[in-house]
Copies of this chain bind each other. A is one copy, B any other.
Amino acid sequence: MSPSKAIDLSHHLSELSRSRIPSPLKDILKYMNEPGMISLAGGLPHPSLFPFSQVNAQIYAPDADLQSDDAASSPINIHVPKHASSSQTNTLSAALQYGSSYGSSTLSSFIREFTARVMTPGYSDFEILLNSGNTDAWNKVVNILCEFGDYILVEEHTYPSSQAVWAPMGCRGVPVPIDKDGLVPEALEAVLENWNETHPGVKRPHLLYTVPVGQNPTSATLSPERKKAVYDICVVYDVIICEDDPYYFLSFPPYVLPAQRQSLRKNALIDGLIPTFLSLDVQGRVIRLDTFSKTLGPGNRLGYFVCNPLFTERLLRATEVTTQAPSGWSQALVEELLLSWGQGGFLRWMVGLRDSYTARRDWMCDIIAENFDVLLSPEGIVDDVVAVRKSHGSTKDAVPFFSFSFPRGGMFLWIKIYLSNNVAYQDMKVANASSSDSTVTAMWTEAFWMDLIKEKVLLTPGSYYTPIVGMGKRMPQEPGVTFFRLAFSFESREEMKLGIERMTKVFERWWPVM
């Protein structure tokens, strides 16, 4: 059975979005393309007056070994001339001109084919709309769906910039617990099921913001079973899912210790890919945010929505009065790159990326295993493994420093530090008896972070990712535990090693051996 069309979800649109009217210039466009028409209507600058006459770029082959320096030795040339030659459709005169807010149709077609093939949307009339990257995209989603003061479902540790969009609108996050397998469906259901009791008279949240693969900051990757469960709950409670999925192709095989690791572990990409929310979506209630930021570079400021036609039309209206269109340079150069690579080449590029970031994940995990003893989690500590002081002997009674999961995707390792056995923490509690446990935990965290900085290693405090649950109000934090995020995406292996050695020193100092 072929998939059916999206259902009518127009009741989700914000008043602002409903009030947007198409530009009257659309009527003009209709006539402009009539054969023989002389148009004195458009206010376009003349392309002979653009100062660029051509641009050439060198790109890597899609299966270049990105971990080797040789990649640079075999570049492919792509070329965008000012005016069209016989075979060329992408020209600088077009790229530098005012463009449609839809963006390049060639690029959109390429993306549409890629999406149909790899993301397999569950309904038939999905559409693609280019945008200026996922921050821009999420802002536009909030713009078309949210009223001031709305509640928005978010992960219990969530991406700060996503909150910065809606917090000034007086919106509030409704945190949903996550663990290493992502959002907990039962917890989501409980929030929605009990909403009228917990929030009498208040509109139930109708938008879920989630980063399902390699979540920022926790690296949680939502399992297929949970994804299905979350989708089904959103159908029951009529919730729109915004699937912000920048790390989709950075989905890694499980971490294994170096001794057990095969020297070459090249899995087929498709094996590691988890079905998207979009693929489960038979109703058109998923707005998928895809971006080239993590795959071709954030500076492109180029991404795209995949969603139902009603939403793309309203997102287009929002685009016309804000960004107008992504940069013509970004569109032209990414288009030439992708046409040069082809569909298969783009996928092979993703394999290389995945392998590179898998290697980086392995570096970081290996280095942690070299500096700490890494144990299976004891009862009551829910993450995968616990790091304790390197003992070179029995670790049976070791005090847990922190627990973490070996990342299965993304760019981050998320550690949860346990303070109950920490002497400094206990001393702080005594010295600040009138303060709450959360306050003392925050004090401890700040002091510990400052000590890391003194030791010249910078981590991101987990508190940055705490949901905003009211104007200037954060979700209360569990006392006695604290979080940090470590990125394995950027530093070299040597720097990573040095950084984690410094971090180890600080841990060992803060848990002195009695």
B55 touches A160 (CB 8 A): no
A502 touches B38 (CB 8 A): yes
A38 to B490, CA, bound (A): 10
Q: A202 to nearest B CB, angstroms?
A: 20
Interface residues in A116-155 by Cβ distance below 8 A to B read 132-133, 135-136, 139
Judge if A476 is at the interface, Cβ distance under 8 Å.
no
Q: A456 to nearest B CB, angstroms?
A: 5
Judge if A268 is at the interface, Cβ distance under 8 Å.
no
- CB neighbours of A256 from chain B (8 A): none
Q: Mark A273-296, 1 if CB is under 8 A from B, else 0.
A: 000000000000000000001101
- CB neighbours of A170 from chain B (8 A): 19
**Closest chain B residue, CB of each to CB of A412:** B43
Which of B21, B41, B59, B458 is A458 in contact with, Cβ under 8 Å?
B41
Which of B34, B51, B57, B139 is A55 in contact with, Cβ under 8 Å?
B57
A395 to B486, CA, bound (A): 83
A28 to B48, CA, bound (A): 46
A52 to B337, CA, bound (A): 9
Q: Mark A400-443, 1 if CB is under 8 A from B, else 0.
A: 00000000000110000000000000000000000000000000
A40 touches B459 (CB 8 A): yes
> Which one of A184-192, A259-267, A318-326 contacts B?
A318-326
Judge if A24 is at the interface, Cβ distance under 8 Å.
yes
- CB neighbours of A196 from chain B (8 A): none
B19 touches A167 (CB 8 A): yes
Interface residues in A40-98 by Cβ distance below 8 A to B read 40-60, 66, 71-72, 75, 82, 94-98
**Closest chain B residue, CB of each to CB of A142:** B321
Judge if A37 is at the interface, Cβ distance under 8 Å.
yes
Knowing A45-B297, A98-B298, say if A53 contacts B38 (CB, 8 Å). no
A298 touches B96 (CB 8 A): yes
Q: A328 to nearest B CB, angstroms?
A: 3
DSSP class of A's interface residues: helix, strand, loop or mixed?
A: mixed
Interface residues in A321-342 by Cβ distance below 8 A to B read 321-330, 333, 337
Interface residues in A8-39 by Cβ distance below 8 A to B read 16-17, 19-21, 23-25, 28, 31-32, 34, 36-39
- Could you say which of A49, A325, A456 has the most chain B C-beta atoms within 10 Å of its C-beta? A49
- CB neighbours of A483 from chain B (8 A): none
Q: A211 to nearest B CB, angstroms?
A: 12
B411 touches A167 (CB 8 A): no
Judge if A353 is at the interface, Cβ distance under 8 Å.
yes
Knowing A24-B160, A31-B458, A132-B132, say if A39 contacts B491 (CB, 8 Å). yes
> Which one of A173-181, A224-232, A304-312, A493-501 contacts B?
A493-501
Knowing A24-B464, A52-B337, A321-B165, say if A298 contacts B39 (CB, 8 Å). no
Judge if A115 is at the interface, Cβ distance under 8 Å.
no
A53 to B42, CA, bound (A): 37
- CB neighbours of A349 from chain B (8 A): 51
Judge if A343 is at the interface, Cβ distance under 8 Å.
no
B328 touches A297 (CB 8 A): yes
A134 to B71, CA, bound (A): 40
Judge if A169 is at the interface, Cβ distance under 8 Å.
yes
Q: A53 to nearest B CB, angstroms?
A: 5
A307 to B231, CA, bound (A): 47
Judge if A504 is at the interface, Cβ distance under 8 Å.
no
A135 to B318, CA, bound (A): 11
Knowing A16-B169, A45-B294, say if A457 contacts B40 (CB, 8 Å). yes
Knowing A34-B456, A322-B139, A489-B45, say if A297 contacts B52 (CB, 8 Å). yes
Judge if A300 is at the interface, Cβ distance under 8 Å.
yes
A42 to B464, CA, bound (A): 13
Which of B16, B51, B53, B132 is A323 in contact with, Cβ under 8 Å?
B132
**Closest chain B residue, CB of each to CB of A82:** B72
A494 to B498, CA, bound (A): 70
A136 touches B322 (CB 8 A): yes
B44 touches A489 (CB 8 A): yes
A32 to B98, CA, bound (A): 39
**Closest chain B residue, CB of each to CB of A349:** B51
Q: A357 to nearest B CB, angstroms?
A: 8
Taking A47-B297, A52-B296 as known contacts, 11 extra A-B pairs with beta carbons closer than 8 A to each other, sorted by chain A number, are A19-B169, A23-B164, A39-B490, A40-B499, A42-B487, A43-B412, A46-B356, A49-B357, A56-B57, A135-B321, A136-B323
19 A-B pairs whose Cβ atoms sit less than 8 Å apart in the complex: A21-B167, A24-B464, A40-B458, A41-B487, A43-B489, A45-B294, A50-B296, A94-B299, A95-B299, A96-B298, A96-B299, A99-B298, A161-B321, A164-B320, A165-B321, A297-B328, A299-B329, A300-B328, A323-B323
Interchain residue pairs A-B with the least CB separation, the first 3: A299-B328, A96-B297, A327-B327
